[in-house]
Chains A and B, each alone.
Chain A
Amino acid sequence: MKPVSLSMRLGLTVSILGALLVVSLAILAFFALTHELDTLARSSLDKKLQQVEQHLSMYDDTADVSSKPHSLLDQVMGHDNLNLTIYDLTNLRKPLLKFGSGLSDFRVELKEASATGDKITYSTYTDDEGRHFLTASKLIRLKNGVSVPVLLSMDCANDEALLNAYLRSTIIALPLLLIFIGISAWAVVQRGLSPLREFRKVAAMISAQDLSHRLSVVKMPQELSELAHAINFMLHRLDSGVQQLSQFSDDLAHELRSPISNLMGKAQVTLTRERSAQEYKTVLESCTEELGRVTRIVADMLFLAQVSHPAALVPFETITLEDEALKVIDLFSLSAQEKQISLNVTGNGKTIGDRLMIQRAISNLVSNAIRHCPAEHSISVVIEKHAKHISLLVANPGPGIESQHLLHLFDRFYRVDTSRSRGEGGTGLGLAIVRSIMSLHQGTAQVQSVTGEITVFSLHFPDIAGQTTWQQARKAQA
């Protein structure tokens, strides 16, 4: 089944709910009205009957009633819908007094009259023409002590006409009202959802080549503008990701091109003429060194790919950071000694992670620090415990890094001084690897530098408790 459109569905739902509401209101109003009209009729009959009683009590006997009915008739005169009938209990065949056109059925009246008591009783009656009557009856005492049954009845035709008019107008208005409600709901939803066309337009324009389109959030309802913001943000991230990727493959090609063209050139030059064995050997040796560089770049790239998208769960263990730092320092101490640089480690802390990766991150930072530290200075590795995380800082004095480079320092192949570090054998991936390793550990890598004074690289590991839960979540996911 084809799903019905949202606006249609909402329009229908609102119409049905509206119908339920209006119908139940109408029914409620009908009953309330009926009840109210009935009460009104009774109370007016009641009042009238009291007036009749007042006058009737001044008559001497039954004969008096039939001979001088005027003061009684005055009471009901002018009320077209009122009928007054008075009987004589001794002779029920013929009423003492009869006024009004109603209650033509004699027998019914007779039955009423005979049943009349001292208290007012009410009864309803429908005649052959379908007219409804409400009758109030009571025994009223005359001056001579004789009681006569008095029947005062009211034709309810007016009330019925009112009710009928109400019902008719409701029945006519109801469908129109419902159609109006339904259409309004449909229109409101249509209008509210119209920005979705904008979504569709932008979605149609987006491809891997062009991720620059954004949704305009002006005049959008709040729910949709939040969605649009989220989509815009997603597009932004995708865009920068794709740009980074293409930048990265450019850089990679560039990085590999120079050693490969060196190799090619060197080999071609060597082959153009006969050379001594020693010369061939030298060329091969230099080629091997150059290839070593290519291999390192490729190995680093593979490592980065592996760390960024680990195919399998890397088992984490508890790592004592100062031990790992000391091990790395041990490795670098000779290189540092050559430059008369002293290395020291202070502080302690534990985290969980992959030992090899953490060693590698520390090693990359220390190696950079030694490279940029001037001779006869010292490099310090400091481990600090904070409330939420553990930091490992590698600080070295030196020329520092200008602030415009700081933001890109952890990017792949980013180099502050292009010619220098390449000559010294770096692959340009060291800090990118550090960042990837840290993000695999749910941590961050940062750098701060004061030009001409000091440069501090810091690794922030989340505290063990936080990491443990994260690790469990990772396991549960895997």
Chain B
Amino acid sequence: MRILVIEDEPKTAEYLHQGLTESGYVVDHAATGTDGLHLARQHSYDVVILDVNLPELDGWGVLERLRQSSNARVMMLTARGRLADKIRGLDLGADDYLVKPFEFPELLARVRTLMRRSEHTPVPQVLKVADLELDQGRHRAFRGDHRIDLTTKEFALLHLLMRQTGEVLSRTQIISLVWDMNFDCDTNVVEVSIRRLRAKIDDPYDNKLIHTLRGVGYVLEARE
């Protein structure tokens, strides 16, 4: 899985490089539009992360030229969140569009989505992490042999965390995917829900599955 980051801001480039490498991707970096285009034409990348404000050749220009020869998935990064800019980006053939400032987990999640877009892996009926089982069809959860009663929202939240096991989900992502609210709400609903879910699936057991990454988000995974 190879990613090209075209970004002139050294600090942004540095943490994107580090974050993506640590998430298991092979990352190349270009600091100008021309260099980026050159690299993108020489190698085949799965995803290109493209900043709009670039020296020499800006992001729109890179995107336009890139689209003539490559099918790589392109994610635009920009400080401008205007609808017109978004539409322009998507019209030019960008696959995704992320406005700065963004949260790294969200970028990661979107990169994963872009990677997955081609392959259709159906979500299995029964999800399993360690001894936690979630049966979507029958709407039931088990920890070992114990059946756990969950409310609808708790079930949706657990389903999301298990489906994305090992991936960090930010508060905003969770609100968007479980409550279908696509803006930054001033609420502690995620904290409360996670606390309640923990009380049901983690607290009575030694092997804790839901982990909080303070300042980042939540992840459900089996840790030794």
Contact = CB atoms under 8 A, between A and B. Distances in A.
A163 to B, nearest CB: 83
Contact of A425 (B186, B193, B196): B186
A382 to B, nearest CB: 21
Given A312-B84, A314-B83, A338 B185 contact: no
Contacts of A328: 181
Contact of A331 (B81, B184, B189, B215): B189
A302 interface: yes
Interface in A299-324: 299-300, 302-303, 306, 310-312, 314
Interface residues of B, number: 27
Interface string B76-100: 0000011110010000000000010
A327 B183 CA distance: 13
What secondary structure prevails in chain B residues at the interface with A? loop
Interface in B174-224: 175, 179-189, 192-193, 196, 214-216
Contacts of B183: 303, 356, 359-360, 363
B181 A334 contact: no
A338 B192 contact: yes
Contacts, number: 80
Nearest to B81: A302
B124 interface: no
B101 interface: yes
A327 B180 contact: yes
A285 B217 CA distance: 11
A426 interface: yes
A298 interface: yes
A303 B101 CA distance: 13
B179 A330 contact: yes
Nearest to B196: A334
A335 interface: yes
Interface residues of A, number: 39
A398 interface: no
Nearest to B87: A312
Given A306-B83, A331-B179, A285 B189 contact: no
Interface string A271-303: 000000000000011111101100110111011
A295 B84 CA distance: 22
Given A331-B187, A332-B187, A332-B189, A312 B101 contact: no
A367 to B, nearest CB: 5
24 contacts: A285-B214, A286-B215, A287-B215, A288-B216, A289-B215, A300-B184, A302-B99, A303-B81, A303-B183, A306-B81, A306-B82, A310-B83, A311-B82, A327-B179, A331-B175, A331-B185, A331-B189, A332-B187, A332-B189, A334-B189, A359-B183, A360-B185, A363-B187, A425-B186
Interface of A: 284-289, 291-292, 295-296, 298-300, 302-303, 306, 310-312, 314, 327-328, 330-332, 334-335, 337-338, 356, 359-360, 363-364, 367, 425-427, 430
Interface of B: 81-84, 87, 99, 101, 103, 153, 175, 179-189, 192-193, 196, 214-216
